[in-house]
Structure 1
Amino acid sequence: MNSITRIPHRIDRDELFERMHISKDRPNYQKFKNNYQKLFESLPELLNIQATHALKANDEEKKIHKGLCEVSHIVYCLVTLGPKISEQSTAYFAEKDFLNGLMIDAMADILLFNASNDYYDTVKRDVYEEQGYALTLRYSPDDNIIPIQVQKKILEYVKGEALLSVGISTGFMYNPVKTLGYVYGADKNIVLAEKDHDCLMCSNLTCEYRSID
């Protein structure tokens, strides 16, 4: 059975403030800083960051992406923050504490993205260094090329419900919502991709983390 990896949380306040358009020249900047610090200190109680992956033969007739047609295997990955951080965000909104609700939700998005980046070393060590399968770039389900229905396939292949307590809705959205599923191609006859993912190759043009230099 595939194993569970626990991932430490990692977040940068400046990145968060930039995404929330919080600049130092705002009159209530100190309040934003104070709110952030309190939320940051609460993270150990709100987070249970876990990840798992599975290497499967790429033998299905319908391939999930044009870039994954020729590889012999697919690596299915799932990373989750657990339910508590989203529950806390919902609670803040219910109390009409919109600042903390918005801020902790934005923090959760960054934490999830960072956790998936940090998990790459584990995937590479297992699949490439120990088993000899070089990895392609990362591919994620979206509304353009990879059908969102692939999220269910990822969940099933990694046994995410049993291992990470992650479920999925009829609309193929994960529960807890701060959960990310994605795939890599893997093959012993290709060269290891130089990096985990490349925004230039991603079809999710509305992704808030999209960076084209």
Structure 2
Amino acid sequence: MQADKREILRYLGYRGKPADEKVLALMESCLSELGRVACPRSTWAWFDAAVAEQQVSFAGFTIESKKLASHLHGCDRVIVFAATLGLEVDRLMARYERLDMSRAVVMQASAAALVEAYCNECCEYLAQEAAKQGYFLRPRFSPGYADFSIQYQRALLHLLDTAKKIGLSMTESCMLVPVKSVTAVIGLTREQGPCEQHKCSVCEKKDCPFREE
């Protein structure tokens, strides 16, 4: 599980700008510390799906989202996916928020890149399993992207029983606990080809500091 250091620097605001040696050393130190405490866990389930113009249905419920439906166009199955780095990562970040805010900021960015790297590893495995059945994967699409309401987080967690399986729950405001966690819907299609859209291109928040062109 190797975090993309370019992503960490992007999260820190270094878009096309070199970081100084102090920042790079701090990033390496944070990654090393995260590696000692992270306990990555994941779970998923496969479902038949029906994709309409503005909704996606599977496992007995329907998600109203035009962007998700567009992203899953041509898919007849989905994988509901969840992953977390564990509570010790949260505790580590909270500790540095009290003791050293500069390190806390880099720790947050490093943990975000680390959970993405873990999710990518999981999806590489899922892609291999899907290929055995003649399917290709679409990229992850998570609650909170575009018009895929974060309120659907609750249904995905319940569907996967994440609290029991990987210790992943959520707050009343639908924020994941542990914080460095991901839920997503992954499309399965028989047709190989380019993905529908990059996750930033489907988001209407044009002024996001983390937006990728």
TM-score by length of 2: 0.77
Pairing 1:54–2:45 present: yes
Distance 2:199 2:183 in 1: 17
Between 68-77 and 162-171, the greater mean CA deviation after superposition: 68-77
Identity %: 18
* Structure 1 residues 185 and 37: CA distance shift in structure 2, 3 A: closer
- Matched length: 197
Partner of 1:77: 81
Partner of 2:33: 42
The partner residue of 2:92 within 85, 88, 92 is 88
* 1:76 Cα deviation after fit: 0.3
TM-score by length of 1: 0.77
Partner of 2:52: none
Contact 2:145 2:199 in 1 (8 A): no
Q: Which runs of 5+ in 1 are unaligned?
A: 1-7
Pairing 1:120–2:123 present: yes
Partner of 1:3: none
Contact 1:77 1:182 in 2 (8 A): yes
* Structure 1 residues 139 and 105: CA distance shift in structure 2, 3 A: same
Q: One-letter code of the match for 2:80?
A: Y
Distance 2:61 2:22 in 1: 55
Contact 1:136 1:193 in 2 (8 A): no
Contact 1:78 1:181 in 2 (8 A): yes
Distance 2:200 2:30 in 1: 33
Q: One-letter code of the match for 1:203?
A: C
Q: Which runs of 5+ in 2 are unaligned?
A: 50-57
Q: CA RMSD in A?
A: 2.8
* Structure 1 residues 87 and 193: CA distance shift in structure 2, 3 A: farther
Distance 2:168 2:61 in 1: 27
Pairing 1:170–2:172 present: yes
Distance 2:7 2:136 in 1: 32
Distance 1:70 1:37 in 2: 42
Contact 2:4 2:114 in 1 (8 A): no
Contact 1:135 1:191 in 2 (8 A): no
